[in-house]
Amino acid sequence: MVIDPGHNPGNFRHTAEINRQVDIGTNRKECDTTGTSTNGGYTEAKFTLDVARRMRELLEAQGATVKLTQDGDRPFGPCIDERARIGNEAKADAVVSLHADGSGTGNRGFHVILPGAVKAGAADTRAIVGPSRELGERIAGNFVRVTGSAPSNYVGGGTGLVTRKDLGGLNLSTVPKVFIECGNMRDSKDAAQLTSGAWRQKAARGISDGIVSFLRG
């Protein structure tokens, strides 16, 4: 399976490269973004990499073969189209893209983003919509159970699930894939969790348990 830690700590130093437009099927979008950060300066890119490494350890202990789209081992990126390609070329049974949101204060909780049905240009998600929803539902259920975090109070109508057709990482995927926004970095209560190593370990376990449950059917 493939874990995709959103953004890259080096993106801040490579703005020209990450602003380059890439084709996501439905339209063109910048290669990548810097991501957000807590008010205290803890970046989303550091958060996603930490959770990805914790997940890799947990999943490998269960016998899974795990690949990361980046492991802090490249100066920036990869671009969103390459992130999708890595999962596709690995013929991954599941791909999870890790993120944390940068929404307004008072907006709290996690949400899982599912691919909508898209057929445009290089994008055709129709075959992965069903299995991706199943993956997303299992991750959401396990995330609540392990972290005690509530589904988002600002998107998804309390379900913790949101469908989108504007994300290149989902549009270009040919294997089951979801994004998870683990919390809102701009809310002080969520930020206190996101900056805690103990909580990140729970987040890693919740997401990993959801993946394992999906893979076992």
For 2-216, CATH gives 3.40.630.40
Q: Positive or negative, the Cα torsion across 165, 55, 92, 14? A: positive
Other CB atoms within a 10 A radius of the CB of residue 73 amount to 7
The strands making up 95-101's β-sheet, listed across from edge to edge, are 67-68, 2-5, 95-101, 177-184, 111-115, 161-164
Is 158 in a helix, a strand, or coil?
helix
Beta strands in the chain (DSSP E): 2-5, 21-23, 28-30, 67-68, 95-101, 111-115, 119-120, 123-124, 161-164, 177-184
Find, among 52, 53, 63, the residue nearest to 96 by Cα: 52
Q: What is the reported pLDDT for 208? A: 98
15-60, pLDDT tens digit by residue? 999 999 999 999 999 999 999 999 999 999 999 999 999 999 999 9
114-151, pLDDT tens digit by residue? 999 999 999 999 999 999 999 999 999 999 999 999 99
Q: What is the reported pLDDT for 122? A: 92
Contact between 167 and 179 (Cβ < 8 Å): yes
Q: What is the reported pLDDT for 103? A: 98
Residues taking part in catalysis: 181
Is the pTM higher than 0.85? Answer: yes
Task: Map tokens 């300066």 to a residue.
Answer: 41
Report, as an integer, the average pLDDT of 90-98: 98
Provide the mean pLDDT of the chain: 98
166-194, pLDDT tens digit by residue? 999 999 999 999 999 999 999 999 999 99
